[in-house]
Structure 1
Amino acid sequence: MTFQRKPSGASLVKTVRDDGKWKSKYRKAVNMDGARILELCDGQLPLEELLEKHNRLYPANILSREDAEAFFDAAEKEEMVVRGAEKLRTDARIAGSYENYYPNHMTFELTDQCNYRCKHCYRESSPDLHKRLDTAKVKEYITALHENGGSVVEITGGEPMLHKDFFEIVDFACERLNLVAVLTNGYYLQEEALQRLLKHKKTLIFNISLDSHLPERHDKFRGKEGAFAKTINAMRLLGEHGFRYRVAMSVTPENNFDIEETIKLAKEHKATTFGYNHVLDFGRGEGLTSGERKADVEELKKRVEYELYIRDKYKDFLNMLTPEQMKSVKSTNCGIIHRTVTVGPEGEVRPCAMFSGDVIELGNIMNKSFKELFKSGIGNVFAAMPAPKEEICGDCKYLRYCANCILRGIKKGSKTPGCKWVEKTGVMKYVKGSPENRVCGNIQEPIQL
């Protein structure tokens, strides 16, 4: 278990690797009072001595025996602690800081090059682009992420397997972190590659893009003849070798009603889970969403009813946020900057994949160390910043578009005089560039574990 200190308290993260389930990551959060008492739990002190030590260290927050008993009852129920009559050994790793937020999760876009020209690509990647992340810097940041309580990285691109040091980077990450996700189109994920990655099977998770059960539709969407066949073969091999993987579908008006048949294909090839998202109106994706805006009411009603049917019938297979995760997103935000960041192929650090580096400037891994980057205090600001929601925005006509997303709130709010969310949060003081410049289409939900 990792105990990651935060200015708000602490996160406790534990990964279960042996049950084969996708949602195998345990995460609990406690406030500062809970963090202080839990950090003292080394398995060696009886409750009375633990209380005495706590109250001596924190005289402004004296904890009574009754309150301590109630806290540990709840903590034991949530699997944060184990109590016993004898001394216990703990392998918990304590990291992080009570002064600054350090992320638990980072996404590395190894390159902007891709062998496809996908219609919705959030980086507008193509075979003609050749930017590469520096391998030594990626390793430096993976090491620092681990040392400061982080446990998850996502490796993506472009097509990450086109980076010359792809296997070296994956090996390095798997040897240090609890979970490593590789987001790929599957074209190069064939037998030889999987043989090289078998040793990391318990740590690795793959995300494979599949946009229809119809070969011609998938190939057209991905801009590559034969893409469907390569993807299906990669899925078959992943299933045969027992790797965990998610099939991710990008949805437009053209393939909206392909979702169920694509789910069936994923299940047939032993996918662990399935996720789909609608293409967003950025970059190449902007043209693809025009059908959403022009669709008549009856057509939209059919789509909603279809998706409600899908979510009910396949709820045990779909990769969706849990009620607890949704509650967290709605109460604050998705975790940008304070829990997760994205690093682009030139080293620029962004709040998430959907942001360009010039909207909110965080720095660059090529000229800043991990701690320099996150000691700016901006993580503390965004940890407390609510995303657009009804309680703030009221009956605003843009709420359906902006809800729960800070970037979309910035995009609409910056052009909407009197935006209640912009005024309440003061977010524009942190915005340096225009969100209109972002080359972004669809982006899948982060790996939920």
Structure 2
Amino acid sequence: MYDINKYAILNNHYKLLEFPTYGVLQVKSDNMKNRDRIIQIDGKENIEKGLFLKQASSFINHDAVELFKLCNGSKTLKEIFEMFSNDDKIRQFLFRAIERNHVSLVDKPSVDGLDVRGTKDFFLPLHMSIELTDGCNLNCKYCYRREDIRKSTFIDSEKLKVMVEKLNKETLSMVEITGGEPTLHPHFTEILKYILERGITVGVLTNGVKLPENSTEELEPYADKIIWGVSLDSYDPEYHDKFRGKKGAWESTVKNIKKLVNHNFFVRVAMVVTPENIDQLDKTAELSVNLGARFFTFSASLPFGKGKNIEWKEEYALKLFEEGNKVIKKYEGIIPIVQEESGDLLKHSKNCGAGWKNFTVGPDFAVRPCVMSEPKRDVIGIIDPDNPTKFFENHKEETFFYSKIVPPNREICGDCELLHFCWPCILRARKAVEDGLMDIDKCKWMNDSYVEFLKVKVPNRGDKNVLK
């Protein structure tokens, strides 16, 4: 089928990202529009699952990473096969890679080499959430963190550019722009353009009330690389405004969703669900379709910040599950609808990647595992924009620990009545213990190492804060 005497080389429109526990085969940004399906590899005994994903990148294991690294143009396919005693799994994997245009066969040896980034020694970010400010122009009832706009901190845009530039040369592939409300930053559009020009996919999380002047016109050339996540909590203006704490917020948000759609942007409408608006889920999804959104997501309000005052009884969680399934089924084939963090609790849930694949950088360049983590308690450290790689090397102990945390799940927690509250988030589990919802000695998930690492404030035991 293929001439195995030819030299095998990874196609130059792919780059290989290497991490301590996994790898990523990724289409380079200038080839995104012509991307092919990527092979996902899983396990030594089952090295090629036959699962093909039509997306820009795919997670692969170290076996696959090493095989792709051998395809550097210096060895023939026959020589690579002989290195593994002509193992049939290896042969089938490489033949499939050639078939999918990931690997090419050439007549002569190549000296170009491969585009391999990252390291096995410590984790570097694949995805990063950057908080442009901690200020906001709304006063939402469920906000997990709220700072007065008059006291807002704005990230230094020039230092931010330096950090992104350096990390992009390593493994950084996607940036989420958030806050606070990111559109309040005086250099919002300039920052986005800079990141986009480096081939990085950008997601913007916004309440949609304010779009900087001329931002849609200036950013439209990059429309295929931006995902606008706009919050819309109801089809009912009165409810939305009441919950967002500002009259006229609904009208402004809807107007700006239309504006973004008219400028060819990919818009994802995101609805925060509380016991008060579960019944509005269907009509809000319908409104999103009519506005031209390409995606609709919904998730329950989180028990952090002011959101801790919203009580989620088990009956409400069940009602959300039922209503959510109805909406997903109703709009199937019309618009993708996703219930965030949905899944089967009976299955062993996976670590979300916070603190090792994904990191959050605050406006003061303090690095945390995720946006829901606390700005003071959960800070891993302050990153130096001029040498960001060194930060992750210096903090590899913490990032390795995060990579090994298994979140609460049915296998560990059994029939615990709080599982619907905790799953699949380690911070929710911490909150359950700290708020006295669960006695720490009875919690099957919370062990001593988690108490120390997560700095859990154990009732009647004082604070544990071992890792500085």
For Structure 1 versus Structure 2, the TM-score category normalised by the shorter chain is 0.7 to 0.9
Residue of structure 2 aligned with 1:431, choices 446, 451, 454:
454
Contact 1:190 1:233 in 2 (8 A): no
Moved over 6 A (4+): 87-92, 321-327
Partners of 2:167 and 2:389 within 8 A in 1? no
Tell me whether 1:27 sits opposite 2:51 in the alignment: no
Instruction: Give the structure 2 partner of residue 247 of structure 1.
Output: 269
Work out the CA distance in 1 between the residues paired with 2:108 and 2:58: 24
Choose from 300, 319, 325 the match for 1:308. Answer: 325
1:27-106 matched pairs, under 5 angstroms: 27-43=57-73, 45-51=75-81, 55=83, 62=84, 64-73=86-95, 75=97, 79=100, 81-84=102-105, 93-106=115-128
Q: Distance in 2 between matches of 1:162 and 1:421?
A: 40
Farther-moved stretch of structure 1 (377-386 vs 260-269): 377-386
1:355 counterpart residue number? 373
Identity %: 32
Structure 1: runs of 5 or more not aligned: 56-61, 437-449
Q: Would the aligned equivalents of 1:246 and 1:275 in 2 still touch at CA under 8 Å?
A: yes
Normalised to the residue count of structure 2, the TM-score between the two structures is 0.80
Residue type of the partner of 1:409?
A
Asked if the contact 1:112–1:132 (Cα under 8 Å) also holds between the matched residues in 2, the reply is: yes
Give, in whole Å, the separation in 1 of the partners of 2:233 and 2:20: 41
Shift of 1:189: 2.1
Give the match for residue 389 of structure 1.
409
- How much does 1:241 deviate? 1.4
8 Å Cα contact 1:116-1:127 kept in structure 2: no
Give the whole-Å Cα distance in 2 for the aligned partners of 1:47 and 1:285: 58
Residue in 1 aligned with 2:445? Answer: 421
The separation in 2 between residues aligned to 1:153 and 1:227, in whole angstroms, is: 26
For residue 410 of structure 1, the aligned residue among 411, 414, 430 is 430
| TM-aligned CA distance change 1:321 to 1:26, over 3 Å | farther
For 1:308, the aligned partner's letter is N
Higher strand share goes to which structure? 2
What pairs up with 1:162-201 in 2 under 5 angstroms? Answer: 162-189=184-211, 192-201=214-223
C-alpha distance 91-253 of structure 1, shift in aligned 2 (>3 A): farther
Q: Distance in 1 between matches of 2:364 and 2:456?
A: 18
Residue correspondence of structure 1 range 90-239 to structure 2 within 5 A: 93-189=115-211, 192-239=214-261
Higher RCO (CA < 8 A, seq sep 6+)? 1
Q: In 1, are the aligned partners of 2:298 and 2:340 still within 8 Å (CA)?
A: no
Question: In the superposition, relative to structure 1, how do residues 211 and 76 fare at CA in structure 2: closer, same or farther (>3 Å)?
Answer: farther
Deviation at 1:199, TM superposition (A): 2.1
Contact 2:72 2:113 in 1 (8 A): no
Per the alignment, in what secondary structure is the counterpart of residue 190 of structure 2?
helix
Cα separation, partners in 2 of 1:86 and 1:418, compared to 1, 3 Å:
farther
For residue 441 of structure 1, what is the aligned residue in structure 2? none
> Which residue in 2 is equivalent to 1:266?
288
Q: Which has the higher helix share?
A: 1
- In the alignment, what sits opposite 1:10? 23
SS in 2 for 1:422: coil
How far residue 435 of structure 1 moved from its aligned partner, in angstroms, is 10
Does the C-alpha gap of structure 1 residues 95 and 434 become closer, same or farther in structure 2, counting only changes over 3 Å?
farther
Give secondary structure in 2 for the equivalent of 1:304.
helix
Measured in 2, the distance between the counterparts of 1:24 and 1:17 equals 11
How far is the alpha carbon of 1:141 from its aligned partner?
2.1
Shift in Å, 1:204: 1.5
Question: When the two structures are superposed, what TM-score results if normalisation uses the length of structure 1?
Answer: 0.83
Kept after mapping to 1: 8 A contact 2:281/2:323 = no
Q: 1:146 to 1:408 in 2, by over 3 A?
A: same
